[in-house]
Amino acid sequence: MTAKLIKGTEIREEILEEITQEVKEIKAKHGVVPGLVTILVGANPASISYVTLKIQTAHRVGFNEVQDNQSPDISEADLLALIDKYNKDDSINGILVQLPLPKHIDEKKVLNAIDPDKDVDGFHPVNVGRLMIGGSEVKFPPCTPFGIQEMIVRAGVETSGAEVVVVGRSNIVGKPIANMMVQKGPGANSTVTIVHTRTKDLASHCKRADILIVAAGVPDLVKPEWIKPGACVIDVGVNRVGEKVSEKTGKKIAILKGDVDFEAAKEIAGYITPVPGGVGPMTITMLMLNTLKSLKFKLGLM
């Protein structure tokens, strides 16, 4: 059997198109568009490329996008004052602080200073709590798990009553996606197991999974014989395993591999996400959706 590919690149286009249409409608009816500010401290090349992609995507869907670049010498107090300014700015619905921050700044303090109603990354403790409560309490699911759930739903995979096994217990992927899948409601209602580095028999848990979500950061961790025939396999892992020369640009680029042995797994699974082009493109897409939601909450449309 060859699994159906769940392509993040295609789902991203669908969702960004939906957001663009909704932004146009809100603009026509209410005279406003979502506002997203990205605060970048310093000039870390990887951070610059992430921020640029976020800003370009925000621009594409019709948001008011603000890129606020700050010197690496900015004091913690000045950065907190800047966040306070955007917290009070009515035209801003989402505030992103690109990590990592310079060592003299307490990241936790800065992230916790963001108004939870503008925390479109969904990492503020208030939003983590809202996610745990579930239902109408939830405002901003963290973007990668939100993208994973959306991929499963859009692929038409039944989640109600499904055995979901999540490999990894990080705060940004493993724990939140497990929490989301166990909730009462559409795209969830699953029976969830989380496995991690201290789990005794990883293989036996994975073999039970109707939906296997792997976020470990270990190339080829999941072997084909661990996959239940017909299962939906979501490979979140992004591992750099070497370099190659790009055919398009002639420049050296990283060779990426997921946490699942894709070539073998696709012959057993019913659905599978590729790496790259699977979960990766979903994160920024869901960031846009969260920013749109933030404006809709404010306008009483949600």
Provide the minimum distance between the beta carbon of 200 and ligand NAD in the complex, in angstroms, as a whole number: 11
Q: Exposed, middle or buried by CB within 10 Å (0-12, 13-18, 19+), for 180?
A: buried
Provide the minimum distance between the beta carbon of 258 and ligand NAD in the complex, in angstroms, as a whole number: 8
Any idea which residues carry the catalytic annotation?
Answer: 54, 98, 121
Q: At residue 47, what is the residue type?
A: S
Among 114, 192, 221, 288, binds ligand NAD (CB under 6 A): 221
Tokens 């995507």 -> residue: 57
15 makes contact with ligand NAD (CB under 6 A): no
Which residues ranging from 94 to 133 are in contact with ligand NAD (CB under 6 A)? none
Among 9, 71, 197, 204, binds ligand NAD (CB under 6 A): 197
- Residues forming beta bridges with residue 211, ordered by sequence position: 164, 232
Only segment of 32-40, 81-89, 149-157, 194-202 that touches ligand NAD (CB under 6 A):
194-202
Q: Which is nearer to ligand NAD, 53 or 302 (CB)?
A: 53
169 makes contact with ligand NAD (CB under 6 A): yes
The CA-CA-CA angle for residues 54, 167, 261, to 5°, reads: 85
DSSP codes, 176-198: HHHHHHHSSSTT---EEEEE-TT
Only segment of 54-62, 114-122, 167-175, 263-271 that touches ligand NAD (CB under 6 A):
167-175
Among 172, 192, 233, 286, binds ligand NAD (CB under 6 A): 172
Q: Exposed, middle or buried by CB within 10 Å (0-12, 13-18, 19+), for 80?
A: middle
d(CA 176, CA 161): 19
Nearest residue to 214 via CA among 263, 158, 287, 272: 272
Q: Which is nearer to ligand NAD, 241 or 302 (CB)?
A: 241
Provide the minimum distance between the beta carbon of 90 and ligand NAD in the complex, in angstroms, as a whole number: 31
Among 170, 189, 191, 193, binds ligand NAD (CB under 6 A): 170
239 makes contact with ligand NAD (CB under 6 A): yes
174 makes contact with ligand NAD (CB under 6 A): yes
236 makes contact with ligand NAD (CB under 6 A): yes
Which residues ranging from 252 to 281 are in contact with ligand NAD (CB under 6 A)? 279-280
Compute and round to an integer the Cα radius of gyration of the chain: 20
Instruction: Provide the token pair at 4.
Output: 């159906």
Provide the minimum distance between the beta carbon of 74 and ligand NAD in the complex, in angstroms, as a whole number: 26
Three-class secondary structure assignment of 38-91: EEEECCCHHHHHHHHHHHHHHHHCCCEEEEEEECCCCCHHHHHHHHHHHHHCCC
Q: Which is nearer to ligand NAD, 2 or 171 (CB)?
A: 171
What residues make contact with ligand NAD under the rule CB under 6 A? 144, 167-170, 172-174, 195-197, 202, 215-218, 221, 236-239, 279-280, 283
